[in-house]
Amino acid sequence: MTANDGRSATGGGATDATRGDTVAAVVRQWRAVHPGLDTGPMEIIGRINRCAALLQQAEDAPLRRAGLSRPEFDLLGALRRTGHELTPGELARETFSSGAAVTKRLKQLTERGLVERRGDTRDRRVAHLRLTDAGRDLVDGILPEQLAYESAVLSGIRAPERDELAALLAELLGQLEGRLDALRV
């Protein structure tokens, strides 16, 4: 199904005219300029990007109250959920962050007493990181509140549709993680 046949790319039957989101307006504008182009991909990827941007702008309220950014919480969460020490490189891979960003965040989290660093006995260039008791308590205390906040963000979508959306996004993510490098060529 294409976006040009008047139905949504998801097959729900809604037309762009019945949707009031920003992406629908952009799609209508592109269709006016290039009526022959299939804007279906834009309807999906544009909405994913817009949702991500709005979620980032909202800055997760529980995290903000705890004085944490989402990337800082992701680092703390990675150390908590893996259950063992990680190197900065491993943390970068776990959190999809650059090494420089991880280094900067770790410095701040270490200064706050949430993360501690231990040198490697065999290679002084390697650091091993773990949560302090205060870091573990912060993650364990904030996680239920953060999940409740995220549930509230999604509360306008019924449970079956949330499950379907999660499955579709998992499928897309799996495909992207497996092929993105090939698509960049």
* Residue with more model confidence, 90 or 59: 90
Q: What is this structure's pTM?
A: 0.75
- Which string of b and e fits 38-76 if b means at least 16 CB within 10 Å? ebbebbbebbeeeeeeeeeeeebebbeebebeebbbbbb
Q: pLDDT-based confidence at 38, cuts 50/70/90?
A: very high
Is the pLDDT higher at 47 or at 179?
A: 47
Report the distance separating Cα 87 and Cα 95, nearest Å. 12
Q: Among residues of the chain, what percentage have pLDDT more than 90? A: 63
- pLDDT of 176 > 90? The answer is no
